[in-house]
Amino acid sequence: MKNNKVIIGTRKSQLAVGQTQLVADMLADAWAEYEFELKKIVTKGDKILDKPLAQVGGKGLFIKELEVSLLESKIDLAIHSMKDMPAELPNNLEITAIPKRVNPRDVLISNNNLLIDELPKGARIGTGSLRRTSQLLSYRSDLDIVPIRGNIDTRIKKLQDEELNLDAIVLAAAGLIRMGWEDKITQYLEPDVILPAAGQGALAIETREDDEKIKEIVSRIDDQETKYRLEAERAFLEYLEGDCQVPIGALAKVEGDNINLEGMVATLDGKETLQATISGIVDEASDLGVKLAKDLAKKGAHQILKKARQETDK
């Protein structure tokens, strides 16, 4: 940081810039004496748009170039979608703060505003997520899932693509909320239809471990409840070695000092699904995530995920 100017690294996509600007505004409200400036950086994930995420590297695909800029001190902090963050970070970097999470659910955007139960038999739904694909097929096996990639605005436009002939698409609610596009949402999908990805709806602020001043600056917008929820979800994910190459979901909710965690693993076709919940106190959030993962492992979670990986590799 030079001359009280904090440089914040972000991907170049419209959503990434929008959500990074929200963080910059929060920091500016908390620290009147500093100036916050965005630096846009292209990541590998932004360049490869013609292949499913599961085939091009999964987690880390959208963050490496930002982390290099952090390590080279070209930026002071980086903003990531938490669901893109791997369990292990490079040496000398850490997730220092997590702002308050927005709605973690997935949503349906459909032509003619049809709800998921109202879509015709064989309806074509666009998504590039194996987790969403699996759970959609588990909920309605008649659906025809069409793989789509691209930034949030690109995917919304694909709903009108005559060649794709889509009836609906499924996206994360958080991106639409942060873009101010809630009016495009047809239906919020409840967790019993589609359980979100671990960390969905949350942002991670990554800094250098030894940059005490920047760590102090970002600490003012850190949200403890969100941290508890993510500790549980990410512990579950990490134990089962989950990533976007397998259908796996987790969602924690906090009420007072209590936390409830729901976790899910499935095969790609949704025909084999394991789902369970666990409750405890927030101070044991990470341990609860591991315990739930172990419970599902005893019921065959590793075998289900192995089958999913084999199907993905075909």
CATH code for position 125: 3.40.190.10
Task: Based on the fold, state whether residues 94 and 19 are members of the same structural domain.
Answer: yes
Domain match, 36 and 69 both: yes
| Angle (CA) 21 27 28, round 5° | 85
Residue 145 · residue 268 · CB < 8 Å: no
| Domain co-membership, 63 together with 211 | yes
Q: Are residues 181 and 54 in the same domain?
A: no
Residues 85 and 10 both lie in one domain: yes
Per-residue pLDDT of the chain (314 residues; tens, 9 = 90+): 788 999 999 999 889 999 999 999 999 999 999 999 999 998 765 544 444 544 444 555 568 899 999 999 999 999 999 988 887 888 999 999 999 999 999 999 999 999 999 999 999 999 999 999 999 999 999 999 999 988 898 999 999 999 999 999 999 999 999 999 999 999 999 999 999 999 999 999 999 999 999 999 999 999 999 999 999 999 999 999 877 678 999 999 999 999 999 999 999 999 999 999 999 999 999 999 999 999 999 999 988 988 888 777 76
Same domain, 306 and 171: no
Residue 127 sits in the same domain as residue 143? yes
Residue 194 lies in a domain: no
The reply to whether 39 and 157 lie within a common domain is: no
Any domain includes 296: yes
Vertex 189: Cα angle to 131 and 171 (nearest 5)? 55
Are residues 258 and 135 both part of a single domain?
no
**Active-site choice (84, 167, 211, 243):** 84
Q: What are 144's strand-pairing partners?
A: 124
Residue bearing tokens 């909320």: 177
CATH number at residue 296: 3.30.160.40
Same domain, 110 and 132: yes
Q: By residue range, what is the domain housing residue 283?
A: 230-313
Q: Are residues 122 and 83 in the same domain?
A: no
84 as an active site residue: the answer is yes
pTM: 0.89
* Residue 195 falls inside a structural domain: no
Contacts of 224 by beta carbon, 8 Å cutoff, 6+ apart = none
Q: Classify residue 87: in a domain, yes or no.
A: yes
Q: Number of structural domains, the chain?
A: 3
Is 273 within 8 Å of 194 (Cβ atoms)? no
